[in-house]
Structures are given as structure tokens and as C-alpha cells.
Chains A and B, each alone.
Chain A
Amino acid sequence: MSDFPLFPAQASTIAWQVDALYGFLVLLTVVFCILVFGMVTIFAIKYRRRSDDEQPEQNHGNLALELSWTIIPLFIALFVFLLGADVFFRLQRAPADPLEIYAVGKQWMWKIQHESGKREINTLHVPKGQPVRLTMTSEDVLHDFFIPAFRVKNDVIPGRYTTLWFEATQLGEFHIFCAEYCGTLHSGMIGKVIVMDPTDYHDWLMGASASDESMVEAGQRQFQALGCETCHKSTSSGQGPSLVGIYDKPVKLKNGQEVTVDVDYIRESILQPRAKIVDGYEPIMPIFEGQISEQSLLQIVSYIKSLTESAE
């Protein structure tokens, strides 16, 4: 019982901002509680009934008071909203060029793969002082990737990608929890983030059980094996659109809409290619729904992301 912490470790760049916001809200709560409890207690003592036939003076309200306790809380509330929205934006927007790591949740484990191809289960090695973005999906039910020490959390949803990002500031091991109820062993779907020095992280990636194939290479291998290359050539001469340099760019569809090529779009175009047809092409691509595992899919996605003009 000696150790009675009130805060989890502050181990990411965003953690202190969330804590500051939390501290401010605690302060606000305490102030209002003192105000209300104080008022109620003082009135209850001061105006206690002294005789049974006591008749207090009636008072039907006071417009100035009503307006003040309508408007003041409103402004406080809106102020808190702004503070919260500000932190939320930072939580949502990853800095440019983060280290990409991919995670797949399934009942009841986290399968993680680094860009180098190295895989791990229920542990996540990350370098200190470098922004990391996790792209996540689920093989079955809803899960939620939660690292209290980093104050980050996002649901992991079957059939789509969600992301979260953080930059660790402290070496050490921290909890990973699944925060969305996912069935029998929900509370066993836990793990550890291990924050390392960037050089140690590099050594770890290259060290024992290092993968001889990076995610991009694995993606490329499967891209070839599945025959994608026959139509998706690096020039626009193929039967399918060229995939070079499309990531994060808008693309015009047959139905006139314009969409941005993000991970979810790439995913959908592989699994349900006929849902969104690029303008100028025919819906002839076979459907891969149910034929590619989530992990292979992530490899192909990271391969397609890597296809930039300069890389060619």
C-alpha cells in the first residue's frame, strides 16, 4: 500500500497535455463542489427549522441570478470544449513521416508487424523520441488499442483501418490494454509497449528473429503472386490504373465523385474492387474479399503506399 499513485506514467509527448487538461477539470470540479456543498451545508445549518410553525419568507426567484448561473456555466463549458478540442486535434493528427507500425487485433491477442517485416505478439517495441503511427484492424470483433501511459486509445474495427499515433518520451515498459469488450478473454488481451533508445530499437529490429523480408517486400511478393502486376503497371498502359504515386492523392471515379486514396480506399479496392471504379477503367478486377488475410493485406497496402515516383 506504500505506493499509491494517482496518475499513470507520463510517457508520451501528449501525456502532459492530457494531464494538464485533466488537472484543470479536477480543479473546476473541486471549485464547483465546494461552492455547491458549501452553499447547501451553510443554508441547512443557518436556516434550520427552529419551531414547527415557522413560516419562511417566500421568494419566487431572481432573474439576474438565473441568468448568471445560465450564462457563466455556458461560457465555462465552451471554454472547456475549446481546450479539449485543441488536445483532441493533436491526438488525431500525426506529424509528417511517422514510423509506421501495423497491428491486427483478434480474439484475444495483438499481432504487430514492423515495416522491416519483424513481427511480435502482445508486445510493441518502439523507439523513444520518434513519432509512431499504428494502423490497426481486427480479424473478428471490435477491439480497442489503449496505452494509458501515452494517453492514447482507438477502437480497432473489423473491415476498416483506424490509426493512432504517439511519440514516446520515456524508456521502459508500459501496459497495452484492449479497452473495447471483445468476449471471454477480453481482460487477457493485454500486452506491453517497450520503449527503447532508437539505436537499441534498430538493433532489436535487426537482431535475433529479424525478418529477411520487409513489409514492403512481402507486399510486393504477394502483389506479384496474386497477379496484380498484369493490369496495374507502373505506367498508365495497363488494364487497371497505375498505382505509382497515388497514395494520399485524389482520384476521380466513374460516377463523378472524387476520393482521396487512403489506406481504407486501398483496402476496399482490393477486397471489393467494384465498389469504386476509377474513371476511365472497366470493372474487371476480381474480388479478393475473404481470400487475403488481414496481415497480408496490410503488407500489400504498405507496398502500394511505398510506390512513389522517385522510388521507381
Chain B
Amino acid sequence: MSDAVKANGEPKNYLNDTYGIKSWLLTLDHKRIGIMYLITLTAFFLVGGVFAAFIRLELMTPKGDLFEAETYNKMFTMHGVVMIFFFLIPSIPAVLGNFLIPLQIGARDVAFPKLNLASYYLYALGGMFAIAAILMGGIDTGWTFYTPYSSSYSNSFVSLALVGVFINGFSSILTGVNFMVTIHKMRAPGLTWFRLPLFIWGHYATSLIQVLGTPVVAITLLLVVFERVFNIGIFDPTYGGDPVLFQHMFWFYSHPAVYIMILPGFAVISDVIACFSRKRIFGYSFVAFSSLAIAVLGFLVWGHHMFVSGQSTYASMVFSFITFFVAVPSAVKIFNWSFTLHKGSIKLDSPMLYVMGFIGLFTIGGLTGLFLSTLGTDVHLHDTYFVVAHFHYVMVGGMVMAFLCGLHFWWPKMTGRMYPEGPAKLGVMFVFAGFNLTFLPQFILGYMGMPRRYHAYPEEWQALNIMSTAGATVLGLGFGLTIAYFIWSLFKGEKAPANPFQAKGLEWDIPSPPIAHNFEAIPIVTWEAYPYGPEEAASQSTETATEPAKEDEVV
């Protein structure tokens, strides 16, 4: 990583400050921990991606002729477990959040650096358990681990995987605690809540969900482990246990968990769209509070996964009703982002192309969510490919696009190198086109009635499935290209200036890559977030110096 660094000539930065494998594995520097997450996450993404490729290959033909049914079931389970628990949930917070939260709030590190490193190792340990479960023969329960199949019937390595997810849950909780405290207590003087970049607001809302939701799924999965190991009977109908209770407890976390996955995406988009249109985010406080609204509402809607689970009609009505309220903050965000472009100065560099892709795909993902929160249509669509398509539109079209967007945007800051713009533009086109080709047909398949998790399907659906597989190939090429030029840029990329995109924010006032303790002197902030206007920029430049005299202006 620090190959080009020479002791002479090169200014000190966090990458060349110390050397050796130990200086990385035992680092307390939030920036290095972020990089370690990035490497590990990418590995998990590739593992999950390989499973996805196998799934799409199998579904090219209606007969289940490539893999045994059992193998196929393990493929989609492991795709889900790896992608959700070990890629999507950590992704933006663990990589970009770790790297940027202290930089953006003018702090030297997160509040608890040792805990931060411990979180990384918990994540890695949880991941090892999951990988061990995969290598020993896999799991076949679906990532949702529904009882009583997972607790009493499956003969696969469920307990091992569950322990992995459980441990990983604590990584997520501790990261949430760490970020929450960091955002509350470590902000630079003058950096009030409403001067924070929206990146921070998004991560704050995410941390809230991580702290409040994850422990519930942790205990639930632990109960399933006990059920398998000791046969305790809580979810086992033969002892009078209720298998459906598991679904309530599982979704109490796992619905908010999709907001853990998407809120950091919103966070990235807000920062990038402001930079590439040179404008303050339209309706800053509405965007900020809509994140909190989503975090809070997210805890009240879990029952919308259970409209056909035998739950009472009235419970379903209430859950559906509350779910529709989630549409409002999501719409507020979309419209505010769109209006930020109005009368802006828009530059379509690759991060901005990812933003445009994100807005498009998330809009479709969000609107198709309405089909599933509408009781009358959900009965038909539940557990079909419509759900699969909707979920991927939000998670890949939303979250992964946002992650790539953020990675491009802050890549120069993180590595000190520029990514090549040409291939990046090509990459975003591939990802966008491939993605739509993969998942648009699945909406139609879902309405036709193709159930999810099917190894074989009636012949009349082959054409749409082939389209989907073809799309997945293009999507895979897009991801491959992106990973390739990122790695290339580490060695051959142009040296990055401190602020290659003329962006605003404390992280852009320091060199790329930053020094080990981030700031020579802690800045004092007297300006609003996103000061892209000329008068604001002027006021900012006079205030950057640490002037105690100005402290009385601080609110």
C-alpha cells in the first residue's frame, strides 16, 4: 500500500507513519481500521458474488440441472448470509464511516479506538465462523433462519453460522456505540449539530439502529442455537412453542437492519451531490430529520414481513399503515436531492454518475416497496421474485451504488491516489445497465408468481430468467472492472491533491492522505455545512486558523 513512499521527500501521512504488518494489525488509527475493513469486506463481497453467479447460472434453465437442490439451497443461503451480515451491514459505516467521521467532525480519532479495533476483530471472527460453516458443508436455511426449519429440521451447519452472525452483531453494536459517542462528544469547537455534514447525520441515525436493534436479533439467534443444541422448545411447536414468534423477533431487528444498510448510503449521496453541484443540500434540516424519522419508524413496521404468516388481520392493517409513513421521509430525501441540482453547477464525474444511478434505482426500489406494503398486492407478491427484485433495487441499486459512489469520492483522500476517470465512467455504465437487466425482469417474474428460493421453475419463465442471468454477467463485469482499476490506481494512479473535487468539509482541508492524528491543530468551525457559496467560502478561509478570539461566536 505504501509502496511509493520514500522516507525522504514524502510528507508523513497515516500510511507511511509506521511500517510492518503489526503496525496495521494492532493499529488504533480509525483510518487504518477503515482500510482493513475495506479489504475484508471486499473479500466477503467476492465470496457472496461467486454464490450469486452460481445462482444465476442454475436459473438459466428451468430444470434444476446444474446443482443438486440441496447445493442450490446452500448457495442462496450463503449468498444472503455473507452479503447481508458480512458485507452490506458493515460496508459504508465500517469503511467510510470509520475513515471519515473523525475527519468530518474535526477529531483526532473515534472516542474509543481500542473498542474500534476490537469491533474489527469481532467482525473478522464472526466472518471466520461463517466461512467455517461454508467450508464444512454450508447452511441451507435461507438467510432468514426461519424456525422450525432452522431449529429442528435442517441438517446443515446452522449453529456455526448463527454464532458467526451473533459475534458479528456485537461488532456492529460496538461500532454503533463508538460512532454515537464520537458524534456526540468529539465534534470540533463550533461544529454544532446543524453545521454537521449530512454524512454524519446519516451515520448517527444508523448507529441508533445498530445499538437498539442488533441485540434483539442477537438473543433471538442465540435461542435458535440453544434450540438446536439443547432442544429447549421455545420455537418448537411439538412442545407448544411458537415458530412464528421467531419471525417477530427476527424482523424487529432485520427490518431496521435494512435501514442500517441504506441510511449510510443516503449519507454518502448527500455529501457527493452537494460537491458536484456546488450547492448546499436543498432543505438540509429536512434531509437530516428524515434520516432520524426513518430510523424511528423502522422499528414499528416489522410485521409487514408477515402479512401472510397467520398474523391477525388487524395487526397486518396497523403494520401496513405505519409502513406507508416510511414512504414520506424517503420521498422527502429524493425530492431534496433532485432540487439540489436545480440551478447548480453540475459536473458529471463518476461519483456524480453513481449519485444519478442511485437516485434512479432507489426511486424504483422505494416505489416498488409500496407494492409490498399494500396489503392487497402483498398477499400475491410475498415470497416471490418481486420481493427479491425490490430488495436488490434498494440494496444493490441503492446501497452498493452509494458505497461505490463514496469510495470513488473519498478514494483520493484514503489512498492519496486518483482513480482513472475513464474506466470509472465505463464501470458505472456497466454496473447500471447490468443491474437493471438483472433485476427488472425479476419484477415481472414475481408478479407472474415465481416463488423465491426455487431451484427449478416452470418453463414459461425461462426467457425472463435468461435476461436476468445475462444482466448479472454485465453487472459482474462492471464490479470486476471497478475492483481492477482501484487496485491499479494504488500503484499507478496519479498523486491526489488535498482537494481534487473542490469539495467542502473538514476532511478536504487536510492533505491526502491525512496525517496519523488527522489535524495539526483542531479547527474551529464558524460556518454552516456545505459552504459552496462564494461569500461562505470567503468567510471560511478567514476562520480556519485556530483563533481563540472567535470562540465566543461559537454556538
Chain A contact residues, CB within 8 Å of chain B:
1, 3-8, 17-18, 21-22, 25, 28-29, 32-33, 36-37, 39-40, 43-44, 47-50, 54-62, 65-66, 69-70, 73-74, 77-78, 80-81, 83-89, 91-92, 107, 140-142, 144, 146, 148-149, 151-155, 157-160, 162, 175, 177-188, 272, 290
Contacts and interface: CB of A to CB of B under 8 A. Distances in A.
Interface stretch (B94-102, B120-128, B210-218, B329-337): B329-337
Contacts of B152: 141
Contact of A142 (B69, B146, B279): B146
Contacts of B546: none
Given A84-B320, A184-B140, 4 more contacts: A29-B370, A37-B363, A83-B374, A185-B69
Given A55-B278, A155-B308, A5 B448 contact: yes
12 contacts: A6-B447, A22-B377, A25-B377, A40-B359, A62-B283, A73-B331, A88-B375, A91-B379, A153-B380, A159-B238, A179-B451, A187-B455
Nearest to B329: A70
Contact of B371 (A25, A57, A107): A25
A44 B370 contact: no
A141 B148 contact: yes
Contact of A187 (B282, B335, B379, B457): B457
A194 B357 CA distance: 46
Contact of A36 (B324, B328, B338, B452): B338
A153 B308 CA distance: 7
Nearest to B70: A184
Nearest to A78: B324
Contacts of A180: 146, 383
Contacts of B356: 40, 44
A26 B360 CA distance: 16
Interface stretch (B44-52, B257-265, B343-351): B343-351
B135 to A, nearest CB: 20
B325 A47 contact: no
B11 interface: no
Nearest to A7: B447
Interface string B246-283: 00000000000000000000000000000001111011
A177 to B, nearest CB: 5
Contacts of B244: 157
Contact of A86 (B334, B367, B376, B380): B376
Contacts of B536: 58
Contacts of A87: 375-377
A55 to B, nearest CB: 5
B453 interface: yes
Contacts of B364: 29, 33
Contact of B370 (A1, A28, A155, A184): A28
B10 interface: no
A181 B146 contact: yes
Nearest to B146: A142
Interface residues of B, number: 94
Contact of B346 (A25, A49, A160): A49
A186 B153 contact: no
B367 A32 contact: yes
Contact of B328 (A17, A77, A84, A160): A77
Residue from B336, B374, B532 having most chain A Cβ neighbours under 10 A: B374
B367 to A, nearest CB: 4
B30 interface: no
B548 interface: no
Nearest to B386: A22
Nearest to B531: A58
Contacts of B140: 183-184
Given A32-B363, A88-B313, A73 B327 contact: yes
B447 A8 contact: yes
Residue from A33, A92, A153 having most chain B Cβ neighbours under 10 A: A153
A43 B313 CA distance: 45
Where chain A touches its partner, the secondary structure class is mixed
Interface string B374-393: 11111110111000000000
B370 A73 contact: no
Contacts of A107: 153
A158 B356 CA distance: 47
Contacts of A86: 376
B35 interface: no
Given A55-B534, A84-B374, A84-B376, A142 B368 contact: no
A87 B376 CA distance: 5
B331 A69 contact: yes
Contacts of A60: 280, 282, 284
B367 A29 contact: yes
Interface of B: 64, 69-70, 73, 140-142, 146, 148-149, 152-154, 237-238, 240, 242-244, 277-280, 282-286, 307-310, 313, 316-317, 320-321, 324-325, 327-328, 331-332, 334-336, 338-339, 341-348, 356, 359-360, 363-364, 367-368, 370-371, 373-380, 382-384, 444, 447-449, 451-458, 460, 463, 532-534, 536
A158 B533 contact: no
A3 B460 CA distance: 8
Contacts of A92: 313
B359 to A, nearest CB: 6
Nearest to A89: B313
Nearest to A90: B376
A8 B449 contact: yes
Contacts of A36: 334-335, 338, 359-360, 363
Given A61-B284, A81-B374, A188-B456, A66 B321 contact: no
B533 A58 contact: yes
B70 A187 contact: no
A179 B384 contact: yes
A182 B383 CA distance: 12
B338 A18 contact: no
Contacts of A1: 463
Contacts of A65: 283, 335, 339
Contacts of B383: 144, 146, 153, 179-180
Given A58-B280, A141-B148, A186-B453, A175 B458 contact: yes
A134 to B, nearest CB: 13
B346 A81 contact: no
A157 B240 contact: no
Nearest to A79: B324
B335 to A, nearest CB: 4
Contacts of A18: 376-377, 379-380
Contacts of B342: 43, 47, 59
Contacts of B316: 88
Q: 4 nearest interchain CB pairs?
A: A148-B449, A87-B376, A159-B237, A84-B374
Residue from B242, B375, B536 having most chain A Cβ neighbours under 10 A: B375
A187 B449 contact: no
Given A55-B534, A61-B282, A183-B154, A85 B375 contact: yes
Residue from B341, B458, B534 having most chain A Cβ neighbours under 10 A: B341
Given A5-B448, A40-B341, A61-B286, A157 B310 contact: yes
B58 to A, nearest CB: 11
A112 B367 CA distance: 38
B344 A47 contact: yes
Nearest to B68: A184
A252 B510 CA distance: 75
A8 B320 contact: no
B164 to A, nearest CB: 20
